[in-house]
């Protein structure tokens, strides 16, 4: 158990709909990262938040948005869903937020949310 929780585990929805994925980081971790894993695109970094602020953006579509709340949990909002958005969405957390992490720092991943768009 990594200590990172994600809900829901599975989500099935229709094209055009909007969903929210939730992530709770490990206790003490200030940074949350979101990733997408799909058959077509492989693993992709989407976005990172650190202590409530956006720190880095990757290949995140404009239809997608995220935020990190004062209690440090994060939500990834996916709207106007398309078939190609079907994927496994992971979040991860770490203590460190930017620059080069010390050797003692590591990332911890949640089990993922599997999104199926029909």
Partner 1 sequence: AQSVTQLGSHVSVSEGALVLLRCNYSSSVPPYLFWYVQYPNQGLQLLLKYTTGATLVKGINGFEAEFKKSETSFHLTKPSAHMSDAAEYFCAVSDSGGYQKVTFGTGTKLQVIP
For binding to partner 1 (CB under 8 A), which residues are involved?
2, 4, 31, 33, 35, 42-45, 48, 55-56, 58, 90, 92, 94, 96-101, 103, 106-112
Indicate left, alpha or beta for 51 from its phi (over 0: left) and psi (-120 to 50: alpha).
left
CB 35, min distance to partner 1, A = 8
CB 103, min distance to partner 1, A = 8
CB 61, min distance to partner 1, A = 16
Nearer to partner 1, 35 or 64 (CB): 35
- Residue 20 is encoded by which pair of tokens? 């929210």
Residue 76 sits at φ, ψ, to 5 deg, of: -115, 120
Q: Which of 33, 20, 16, 2 is nearest to 115 (CA)?
A: 20
Nearer to partner 1, 73 or 108 (CB): 108
Nearer to partner 1, 24 or 97 (CB): 97
Burial track 96-106 (b if 16+ CB lie within 10 A, e otherwise): bbeeeeeeeee
């Amino acid at each position: 158990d990594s200590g990172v929780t994600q809900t829901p585990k599975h989500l099935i929805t229709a094209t055009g709909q909007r969903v929210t994925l939730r992530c709770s980081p490990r206790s003490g971790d200030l940074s949350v990262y979101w990733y997408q894993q799909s058959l077509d695109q492989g693993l992709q970094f989407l976005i990172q938040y650190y202590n409530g602020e956006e720190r880095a953006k990757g290949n995140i579509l404009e239809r997608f948005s995220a935020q990190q709340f004062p209690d440090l949990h994060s939500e990834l909002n996916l709207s106007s869903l398309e078939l190609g958005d079907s994927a496994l969405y992971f979040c991860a957390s770490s203590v460190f937020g930017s620059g080069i992490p010390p050797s003692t720092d590591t990332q911890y991943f949640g089990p993922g949310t599997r999104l199926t768009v029909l």
